[in-house]
Structure formats: structure tokens, C-alpha cells
Amino acid sequence: MDRFLVEGGRKLKGTVQISGSKNACLPILVASLLTDDPFVLHRVPNLRDVRTTLKILTALGKQVSFQDGTVTIAANGKLKNKLPYELVKQMRASFWVAGPLLARFKAAEIPLPGGCALGARPVDIHLRGFERLGARCVMEKGNVLLSAKALHPAKITLRFPSVGATQNLMMCACLIPGETILENVAKEPEIDDLAAVLSKMGAVVFADGKGRLVIQGKSQLRGMEHTVVADRIESGSYMLAAAATRSDVRVEGCVPEHNSILLDYMEEAGVPLEIGPNYVHIKPYDTPIKPLRIKTAPYPGFATDLQAPWMTFMTLATGAAEVDEDIFENRFMHAPELVRMGADITTEKSIARINGVKSLSGAHVMASDLRGGFALLIAGLCANGTTEIERVYHIDRGYENPEGKLNALGAKVTRYNPDKDDF
């Protein structure tokens, strides 16, 4: 398995180009199941989760090509409505095929999903929504069996604004003729990108920006061409890498508005930055980092996916900071690894208390989830000495060419595989 060796203590300088959003891409690729027409998607990041999604589409009977950031999907005979566990276990977002398959076949069989081990991650909100649209949902031997004589539009209020449930129900409702209203939905930019795609496919999707989606579903949807929105989590991760190393980095090709809260907090912590229409320039500074208390929340709140990179930044603050992780349980797996690098962090249930230290030191650490993995990478860039990060495959799920992007900024990150004699 690949590892990273990170030589710490180097300042970063230059411009980093942001890729298309992983979390927008995955449901959009899955939306291709709603039609037999050709489907073309640009600015698709070359990531493990994207490749897993393409394998899922192929397993379901689509013909897929992926070249230079463009995915083309076409019909290839009859679609299947069953997914093998081998593919689902790699990624929670594989469950997002349930909505389109249910809409098309009135029956689907999907194993319960895997993905990052972030506590119990149920799919009850997805299933309650499918039931409201007329489906029967049964669990059998680790699989969810969905079936319906007929589906019908409905008014559904989600008990929590789950991103995945919102996307799954949107896709299903778009292929049910009539008006479905979804209340208390997620408001993430990835939802807007999916709504734009579903509208191009012929459905009418209206988001009021306050958590209400009104969908006019159609009996048939057509193919489309679309360019994926910038990845706000990758953008935020590089902004935090620059801030934590006190570097001079222009994060380009992003939508700064999608990182509003993060940018506010970074400024409050003392990071000088310039915000442009499609870039954020993090400037070098030598004043102390102000410790802050943050709490993760659904968009537009502080993104849970940026909590771990933020925590690395706060390990170097002057004083006591706090992180309240309010979206996922068990999302502090990076904390003990940061402690091995000299950070002073204690966790209790959803709260992490961080007492800032003067510096971090290189250590042998292990990534145990995607964003926590990038947090360790930032820590390695800040630390004195060399850091070795195991299980880089977590980072590869969601960051396109991280060592290439960081090394172009002057970092020294080397990928190697101890099981092969290539080092």
C-alpha cells in the first residue's frame, strides 16, 4: 500500500489549480442511470471514488469512457438493477444508485454501503423518502430491497438535511411525473450542481435556498453535457495547508463564496488573505494564530469535511481552541495521530480541545479516513523533520494528485510503496 514521505518545514509558494468537486461528481455520474441517452461530464477529477463510480455504472450495464477529465456515458444494452457488494463496500455514495434504479425499474437490490468509517452512517432518511414515493423497502441479508407497483409524487420532510438522501430522492422524483416537494433538504453547492444537471435532463427543479426543493418530474429524461463545479473541500484543504505553513499560495479555480465561513474563520485567526472572483490568495504572516471555537454544521455552516484540516491548523495556535463535530460521530481519528506529531489534543464525545503548541515534529502516522488523511499531510508539511503517512489510499479517494499539486508549490512529498522495490 502506498505511503507518503513528507519533508516538513518548507514554505509553499505559487498557484494551485482546484479540481472538479468529487461530491458533486458522484451523484451526477449516477444520474446518468435515469436515461439511455449519451451523458457527458467535464472537469471530472481522477480519483479513486470516481473510478469506483464508473465501475459501478459499468457493472450496471453502461458503457463508460474517462479521458482528460471528461467522462462519456452511453447505453450498452439492457441496464441491471442489482449491485455487487464488492463495489458498494468501497464507497458509501454507491448507495446513491438506489434512487435512479428504483425510478427506472420499480425494483432495485443494493447492499448497505461502506465508505469512511465515520461511526454509524444509516440510510434511514433515504429509505423513508422512497417509502413516501410509494416504494416498499426491506432489508435482507445485508441488502436493501426496493420495490413498488407504482411510484407517485409526494411531499416529504427530511428529519435531517442529509446530503445523500436529498440527492437520492431528487433523482428518483425527477423520473416520477408530477410535483414532488422535498422539505428540510441539504443546501450544499453539490445539490445545486445536481439540480442543474437534472434540469438539463428535462425535469424542472427549483431550490428556494431555504431548504425546499420543488421538482416537476417527467416520464422520460434526456442526456446532457455539464461541467462540474469546483471542489470546495479541496479548495479549503489547500487554503488551510497554506495558512498552517504560513505560506504564499493562490488557490485558483475555486468558488470563494462556497468557503465563506472557512474564510471568515481564517481571517479571524489572523491569516491575511485576498479574495477574488475565482481565487483566494493566502498571504504569508508571522503574527500568532488566534485559537477559535468552531462547530461543524450543514452548509452554509462549517463543513465537517474541513474539520480535520482545520484542526491541524489550530494545533499551532497560541492558546486553547475547540472543535465541536456535530455531523458525524467518530470523526476524530486524526486527533491521536496529530498527538503523535506533538499536538496537544484531547477528545470527549463530539468535542476536541486543542492546546496550541509551538511546533509539530515528524512521525510515523496512519491515515484512517479521507479528510483526516489530508490533515496529516498538512501536519507533515508544518512539522520539523520527516513524516511518514501510511494508508494513502484514503487520501486518494478524494484528492486528485495531492503530491503533484503540493510539490509544484515547493513541498517535498514522495509517494512510495514499501511492498515494491521501487524506492
Among 14, 122, 319, 418, binds ligand UD1 (CB under 6 A): 122
92: contact with ligand UD1 by CB under 6 A: yes
Please give the C-alpha separations between residue 254 and each of 12, 93, 204, in angstroms, as whole numbers: 19, 23, 27
What is the number of the residue whose Cβ is closest to ligand UD1? 164
Q: What is the DSSP string of 231-296?
A: -HHHHHHHHHHHHHTT-EEEEES--GGGGHHHHHHHHHTT--EEE-SSEEEEPP--SPPPP-EEEB
Q: How far is the CB of 124 from ligand UD1 (least distance, A)?
A: 5
Which of 285, 373, 382, 376 has its CA nearest to residue 339?
A: 376
Note whether 162 binds ligand UD1 by CB under 6 A.
Answer: yes
Q: Is 123 in the site for ligand UD1 (CB under 6 A)?
A: yes
Per CB under 6 A, 325 contacts ligand UD1? no
Q: For residue 160, how many other CB atoms are within 10 A of its CB?
A: 11
Q: Looking only at residues 327 through 346 of this chain, which bind ligand UD1 when binding is defined by CB under 6 A?
A: 327-328
Burial class (CB in 10 A: 0-12, 13-18, 19+), 274: exposed
User: Which of 141-149, 157-165, 372-380, 401-409 is the region at the interface with ligand UD1 (rule: CB under 6 A)?
Assistant: 157-165
Burial grade of 150 (CB within 10 A; 0-12, 13-18, 19 or more): exposed
Stretch that binds ligand UD1, among 116-124, 130-138, 268-276, 387-395 (CB under 6 A): 116-124
Give the integer Cα–Cα distance in Å for 199 and 243. Answer: 38
Phi and psi angles of residue 7, each rounded to the nearest 5 degrees, phi first: -90, 110
Q: Which stretch binds ligand UD1 (CB under 6 A): 118-126, 177-185, 197-205, 277-285?
A: 118-126
Is 25 assigned a catalytic role? no
Give the shortest CB-412-to-ligand UD1 separation in angstroms: 29
CA dihedral 308, 313, 315, 320 (to 10 degrees): -100
Q: Which of residues 179-198 bind ligand UD1 (CB under 6 A)?
A: 190
Q: How far apart are CB 112 and ligand UD1 at their closest, in Å?
A: 11
DSSP 230: B
> What is the footprint of ligand UD1 within residues 12-31 (CB under 6 A)?
23, 26
Give 311 or 411: the residue with its C-beta nearer to ligand UD1: 311
x/- map, 260-299, ligand UD1, by CB under 6 A: ----------------------------------------
Q: Which of 126, 232, 258, 391 binds ligand UD1 (CB under 6 A)?
A: 126
Q: Which is nearer to ligand UD1, 95 or 265 (CB)?
A: 95
Q: How many CB atoms neighbour CB 352 within 10 A?
A: 23
Q: Which of 30, 31, 165, 263 binds ligand UD1 (CB under 6 A)?
A: 165
* Active-site position among 25, 116, 174, 254: 116
CA distances to 69, 178, 196, 203 from 152, in Å: 37, 8, 23, 15
Q: Using the rule CB under 6 A, give the single segment among 142-150, 158-166, 357-365, 379-387 that binds ligand UD1.
A: 158-166
Distance of CA 73 to the CA centre of its chain: 22
DSSP state of 359: -
Residue in 160, 206, 393, 423 binding ligand UD1, rule: CB under 6 A = 160
Residues in 293-312 at the binding interface with ligand UD1, rule: CB under 6 A: 304-305
DSSP run (H or E) holding 392: none
Q: What share of the chain is helix, strand, coil (3-state, %, to 5)?
A: 35, 25, 40
139 scored as a contact of ligand UD1 (CB under 6 A)? no
Q: Which residue has the cell 479516513?
A: 369
Q: Which residues are catalytic?
A: 116
User: Site residues (CB under 6 A) for ligand UD1?
Assistant: 23, 26, 92-93, 121-126, 160, 162-165, 190, 304-305, 327-328
